[in-house]
Amino acid sequence: MKFKGGAIIIGSLLWDNKPKRIKWRKLYLESSKNIIPIKVRIRYGRESSSRKNTYTMILSNHPKTDFGNAYILRFKEIIKNARNLESQAFAMASAEGLWKKTGPSLNKNWGTVGLLINPKLEETRNLEIIKERWTKIYSEYNLNPSDYTIQEEPEIIDKNGFLNIEWTDEMNEFDFLIATLTVPKPKSLLDEQIIAEKINETGYDEYFLNNYENGIRTFQDEGIITKLNKKPVANNV
């Protein structure tokens, strides 16, 4: 079997120069020159201690979450079996800091790497093997899908680690996509005023500005910008 895969990129996975993330992008993904812009429902929704308690992006199925701009980076390697796909997922999890002291993991209490399958993919035995192996991995995590929702929004991931996000036309060249979900904090909708106030209060604007300047955008961005002390410069990446 030969399947094509990629990683959905929102936030700092694209631009963060921590050694783990540079290594991941270099070893596992095609050059960012071949990046694929996509529309996904994203918003600012997680208070992050590593970002000076400003808010980072989350994927969201809430009715009030509109489409934003994200990217897909293609895997360098063709997926020939379930282990190939798992290797890609565990590598992404390592870059995200999801591994545990006991060893490789796709899941921690604050985030997880989920799998999105092309809905047009035929129900072949090979696909069933991949589903079975992915489900087995997640059986060890006891994942609670409601941890990843805001105000009773539709589940964005199921207990077996399969993503429930919209498949858009830009994704059609792929059979499998992986993406990192983070747990919303707080479990409520954040408006532009709250997000901007936190940036202004802490003086930490690196996350927001780097996202904006690299073309990673939410539907909230323009409203946030009007309230920021420091304005970003757009980049046509």
pLDDT band at 1 (very low <50, low <70, confident <90, very high): confident
pLDDT at 188 over 80: yes
Give the distance from CA 211 to its chain's centroid.
13
Half-sphere exposure in the Cβ direction for 58 (13 Å, CA): 29
Cβ–Cβ contacts within 10 Å for residue 207, how many?
A: 22
CA-to-CA distance for 37 and 196, rounded, in angstroms? 26
pLDDT band at 34 (very low <50, low <70, confident <90, very high): confident
Question: What's the whole-number mean pLDDT along residues 34-49?
Answer: 96
Query: CA dist 211 to 4, 85, 147, 149, Å?
Result: 27, 27, 25, 23
pLDDT tens sequence across 65-77 = 999 999 999 999 9
pLDDT tens sequence across 85-136 = 999 999 999 999 999 988 999 999 999 999 999 998 866 677 888 999 999 9
Q: Are β-strands 5-9 and 176-182 bridged in parallel, bridged antiparallel, or unpaired?
A: parallel
List the structure tokens of 44: 């600012």
List of residues 6+ apart from 9 with CB closer than 8 A: 35, 70, 71, 72, 73, 216
Q: Bigger pLDDT: 174 or 127?
A: 174
List the structure tokens of 231: 């304005």
Residue 31's pLDDT is: 85
Provide the whole-model pTM: 0.94
pLDDT at 235 over 60: no
Average pLDDT, the chain: 93
Give the distance from CA 180 to its chain's centroid.
4
Cβ–Cβ contacts within 10 Å for residue 30, how many?
A: 15
pLDDT at 236 over 90: no
